[in-house]
């Protein structure tokens, strides 16, 4: 079992990742921190608690609220076309009985990494703001934890600007600090997540697998996927849901799903188009590296594993 701390900006694919992580018998979630991104941090926290209430983890999972803005910039985002006004495609999940803990996300991360007896993997599927703040409080956590992040794009176009992916673009200074911190990084970027297309065929397979007891989860997932299919069709992208965040969790579970290459990834922080770009100098052999970048994925195996895990 791998012990993980998740950091999420619960939107649609973060919710899909949370459900997968709770259901996985190879992952144990030690805690979840939240960050602005797809929605503001209060909404991300609320969404996270409600998704946990829906899936009923067999053990307690503390949730700590984090940053509501990038380190040095105002927050500006509008992704309601992709994630709906509340981040969960407008779906109203029942309220949760759980409250967030009083501790701030960055303090929570520092304490959990220091206290943890096992190896701990931080899995970030949103902006890296909370981790940058945690590293500022205690730089030594870079030697005690590993990071798997969903973010960036080294050989394919971005999704927020022509060259930048949303999680890096949303707080480039935070990403820059994290990539320069020395923490071991596995980067699950658009290079692989843009291939992880959950199609209508996958949707039917999933829907047909639910039992009557799982009707609430089924209704929620039905809504997440049908909303996503319509959204991607509107954007002329075809009828599928990109499984960005779930793929990061699946890579933690089973790294052999992907092929990785070690690179030095430089995070650009300047320029209206270029900030948030994840740059690799492919001209020369890498004399120094800071990340293992996922370059290839066996996507159908991942998607089938996702379906099986959610139905378990
Ligand atoms: C990332 O951006 C967010 O909108 C998604 O949740 C995912 O983490 C993809 O670029
Ligand atoms: Ca996310």
pLDDT in tens, 179-220: 999 999 999 999 999 999 999 999 999 999 999 999 999 999
What pLDDT is attached to residue 235?
A: 85
Pick the closest to residue 126 from 248, 37, 229 (CA basis): 37
* Mutate-to-test residue for ligand 1 from 7, 14, 43, 241, highest number of ligand atoms within 8 A of CB: 14
What pLDDT is attached to residue 236?
A: 78
pLDDT digits (tens, 9 = 90+) for 14-38: 999 999 999 999 999 999 999 999 9
What pLDDT is attached to residue 118?
A: 80
Residues with a beta carbon under 5 angstroms from ion ligand 2: 9, 14, 125-126, 245
Instruction: Over range 273-298, report the average pLDDT.
Output: 96
Confidence band, pLDDT 50/70/90 cuts, at residue 237: confident
What pLDDT is attached to residue 76?
A: 83
**Taken in order 295, 299, 303, 304, is the CA torsion positive or negative?**
negative
pTM of the prediction? 0.97
- Residues facing 260 on adjacent strands: 294
ipTM rounded to 2 decimals: 0.99
Pick the closest to residue 302 from 9, 53, 17 (CA basis): 17
244 is catalytic: yes
Q: Is the pLDDT at 90 greater than 90, yes or no?
A: yes
Our measurement of the distance from residue 66's CA atom to the centroid of its chain's CA atoms, rounded to an integer in Å, reads: 15
Ligand 1 site residues, Cβ closer than 6 angstroms: 11, 13-14, 38, 79, 125-126, 150, 159, 165-167, 244-245
Kindly report the average pLDDT of the chain as a whole number: 97
If DSSP codes are grouped into helix, strand and coil, which group holds residue 148?
Answer: strand
- Residues facing 278 on adjacent strands: 267
Share of the chain above pLDDT 70, in %: 100
Atom of ligand 1 nearest to the CA of 11: 6
Range from 117-121, 191-195, 304-308 carrying the lowest mean pLDDT: 117-121
Q: Is the pLDDT at 116 greater than 80, yes or no?
A: yes
Confidence band, pLDDT 50/70/90 cuts, at residue 312: very high
Contact by Cβ (8 Å): 243, 13: yes
Ligand 1 atom 2 nearest Cα: 166
Which residue's entry shows tokens 């960005």?
244
Q: Is the pLDDT at 260 greater than 80, yes or no?
A: yes
Q: Is the pLDDT at 278 greater than 80, yes or no?
A: yes
Confidence band, pLDDT 50/70/90 cuts, at residue 302: very high
Pick the closest to residue 29 from 68, 47, 55 (CA basis): 55
Overall residue count recorded for the chain in this entry: 312
What pLDDT is attached to residue 229?
A: 97
A 10 A CB-CB count for 16 gives 27
* Mutate-to-test residue for ligand 1 from 77, 149, 245, 251, highest number of ligand atoms within 8 A of CB: 245
Catalytic hit among 176, 223, 244, 305: 244
- CA–centroid distance, 10 to ligand 2, in Å, is 6
């Amino acid at each position: 079992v791998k012990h993980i701390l998740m950091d999420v900006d619960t939107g649609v694919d973060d919710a899909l990742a949370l459900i997968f992580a709770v259901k996985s018998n190879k992952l144990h979630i030690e805690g979840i921190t939240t960050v602005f991104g797809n929605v503001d941090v209060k909404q991300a926290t609320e969404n996270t608690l409600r998704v946990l209430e829906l899936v009923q983890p067999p053990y307690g999972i503390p949730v700590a609220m984090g940053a509501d803005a990038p380190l040095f910039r105002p927050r500006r985002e509008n992704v309601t076309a992709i994630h709906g006004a509340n981040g969960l495609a407008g779906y109203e999940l029942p309220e949760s009985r759980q409250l967030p803990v009083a501790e701030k996300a960055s303090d929570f991360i520092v304490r959990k990494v220091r206290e943890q007896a096992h190896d701990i993997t931080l899995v970030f599927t949103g902006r890296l703001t909370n981790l940058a703040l945690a590293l500022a409080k205690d730089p030594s956590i870079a030697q005690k934890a590993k990071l798997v992040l969903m973010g960036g794009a080294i050989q394919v176009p971005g999704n927020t600007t022509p060259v930048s992916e949303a999680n890096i673009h949303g707080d480039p200074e935070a990403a820059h600090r994290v990539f320069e911190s020395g923490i071991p990084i596995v980067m699950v970027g658009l290079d692989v997540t843009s291939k992880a297309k959950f199609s209508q065929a996958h949707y039917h397979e999933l829907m047909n697998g639910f039992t009557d007891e799982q009707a609430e989860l089924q209704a929620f997932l039905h809504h997440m996927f049908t909303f996503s299919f319509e959204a991607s069709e509107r954007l002329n992208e075809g009828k599928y849901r990109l499984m960005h965040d779930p793929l990061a969790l699946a890579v933690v579970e089973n790294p052999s799903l992907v092929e990785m290459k070690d690179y030095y990834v430089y995070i650009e922080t300047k320029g209206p188009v270029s900030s948030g770009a994840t740059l690799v100098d492919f001209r020369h052999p890498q004399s120094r590296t800071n990340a293992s970048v996922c370059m290839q994925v066996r996507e159908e195996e991942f998607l089938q594993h996702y379906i099986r895990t959610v139905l378990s």
